[in-house]
Amino acid sequence: VTVEHGRERRCLSRKGIAYRISREFHDGDIVNLGTGIPSLCADFVDPDQEVLLHAEQGLLGFGRGARTKAEVDPCLINAARQPVTPRPGMCLMDHAESFALIRGGRIDISVLGALQVSVDGDLANCWLPGAPAGSLGGAQDLAFRARRVIAALPLLGPAGRFVARLTLTATAPRCVGQIVTDVAVIELAGGAAVVTELLDGWTEADLRDLTEVALTSPPGGPARLGVPDDRVELWTTVRTEVPA
Amino acid sequence: MINKVVATAAEALSDVQDGAVVAVGGFAGPGGIPTTLIKALADRNLRDLTVISNDCGRGKEFFDRLRGEYDAHDDVDGRLPVPPEFYPVGYLIDLGQVRKAITSFASQMRTSARGPLETLAEKGSVEIELVGQGTLAERLRAARAGIAAFYTPVGAGTLTSVGKDVRYFDGVPHVLEHALRPDLAIIAAYRADRFGNLVYRGTARTINPVMAGSARVTVAEVEEIVPLGALDPERIVTPGPYVDRVVCA
């Protein structure tokens, strides 16, 4: 074990992961944001880009989250039950139409929270281990039909989140193309996991202690995972406790 | 003369029977959840209901907690206001009136605390049919549109397709899903006229227009009933024939 136990170091906060994911959005993209970390991405979309954010209950083209109570409209919320703000060009639709948009393949990027992801891109995010019931929400529709699925998957904390084979019930097979973690960005393709970006202060060896998956890196090694240094909300510290 | 307006929610639901299959509108909430009708239905104290609803995982206590959190802070930070008296579909589950739930959200997805439906499921006293949201909406839409069943690519090869017919179209496996036809749909909208035409507000629209007309009887609660002709025909989302009764919330 090369991760030094009991040592504090910086890693991305939930907002930091959301920030990094939002760098994947480009002008013209239709992006669905799931609940949890994904819903935080709305606050980091580049305002100069026309990225159409989609909430599964039937809202397309909304803006950042409401900041003050004066901005709150109880009838303008995201899929995570949080008030959001309107943007020019925003449109509303009912649930059937909203999922026609998803099932019909119009979503360029689906950002989903995950309990577990396998190296093959299998996703588990609907059934907690041992729970008597699950919650599918719109995750299955999105995971099956979005053009690209990005999973927000913190690796520090409970072990067993990025695995060789799912141990939890699958939401959808072979759907996740990229995972953004609290220390690295990992691309999944053809059964391989390539660490494309790594946070300063972390090594590839550290990362190998956080997952059973055989990791590879591009020639020359991973790029630096760039998140603005001076934005404190994007960072947190962790005291690494990795099981031997 | 056509007049679908009924004086009270209690009157609009006076003929619902034990064992009825009831679709309840809304998503996430509180906007779009027919809270007046849910309370009136709960007051009937019926037994063995089957509820079809997007989110059955959270009871009244969850929304009471949300209200408290919003009111306790000056900033917003993702918190949402909840009206003083608010009854979600989970209220019927809290009261033990539900035998079966057909829903997209059965679990609160928290390891720390179980919701009312999870607690009952653990005891084996409620049946749960977990359906993805897109499939749930399409099954209701199909019922209204007179379509018996359809094939969807979503869920093939996973737990949700077990026991269902799978066919390949263009090389892709598709799962047969059947229309869902409730006895009753209770929905929420913004405004109605006496013909039952409905308009909605913002994200409170959700699954309400999809449930309208899916059931044998559809009852809508609205914030305001306006004179015939006051609704712009171009803006009406739910045409009157899908709605049987209208009450003012």
Please give the ipTM for the structure prediction.
0.96
Cβ contact A131:A97 at 8 Å: no
Separation of alpha carbons B89 and B72, rounded Å: 25
Q: What is the pLDDT of residue B15?
A: 97
Q: What is the pLDDT of residue A242?
A: 52
A69:B153 CB<8 A:
no
Residue A2 has pLDDT above 70, yes or no: no
What pLDDT band is residue A240 in, cutting at 50, 70 and 90? low
Q: What is the pLDDT of residue A239?
A: 78
Which residues of chain B neighbour A92 with C-beta distances below 8 Å?
200, 202-203, 205
In percent, the amount of chain A with pLDDT more than 90 equals 90
User: Nearest-CA distance from B1 to chain A in Å?
Assistant: 30
Residue A56 has pLDDT above 90, yes or no: yes
Encoded tokens for B229: 């002709």
CA A7 to chain centre: 26
Residue A194, burial from CB neighbour count under 10 angstroms (0-12, 13-18, 19+): middle
A82:B80 CB<8 A:
yes
Q: What is the pLDDT of residue B29?
A: 81
Residue A3 has pLDDT above 80, yes or no: no
DSSP state string for B105-137: E-----SS---HHHHHHHHT-SEEEE--HHHHH
- The residue to which tokens 């979309």 are assigned: A45
Separation of alpha carbons A73 and A89, rounded Å: 18
In residues, how long is chain A? 244
B27:A95 CB<8 A:
yes
DSSP state string for A125-184: -S--TT-S--B-TTHHHHHHHSSEEEEE---SSSS-SEESS--SPPSBSS-EEEEE-SSE
Mutate to test the interface with A, among B138, B199, B205, B211 (most CBs of A within 10 A): B205
B105:A76 CB<8 A:
no
Arithmetic mean of pLDDT, A146-153: 98
A135:B57 CB<8 A:
yes
User: Nearest-CA distance from B48 to chain A in Å?
Assistant: 19
What pLDDT band is residue A8 in, cutting at 50, 70 and 90? confident
Encoded tokens for B69: 């959190």
> Which amino acid is present at A41?
C
Which residues of chain A neighbour B108 with C-beta distances below 8 Å?
135
What pLDDT band is residue A5 in, cutting at 50, 70 and 90? low
Arithmetic mean of pLDDT, A194-208: 95
Determine the residue of chain A that is closest to B101 in CA distance.
A133
For A66-96, how does the pLDDT look when each residue is reduced to its tens digit (9 = 90+)?
Answer: 999 999 999 999 999 999 999 999 999 999 9
Q: What is the pLDDT along chain B (249 residues), one digit of tens a residue?
A: 999 999 999 999 999 999 999 999 999 889 999 999 999 999 999 999 999 999 998 889 999 999 999 999 999 999 999 999 999 999 999 999 999 999 999 998 888 888 889 999 999 999 999 999 999 999 999 999 999 999 999 999 999 999 999 999 999 999 999 999 999 999 999 999 999 999 999 999 999 999 999 999 999 999 999 999 999 999 999 999 999 999 999
Question: What average pLDDT does chain A have?
Answer: 94
Residue A1 has pLDDT above 50, yes or no: no
Separation of alpha carbons B53 and B89, rounded Å: 8
In this complex, which of B108, B202, B206 lies closest to A95 when CB atoms are compared?
Answer: B206
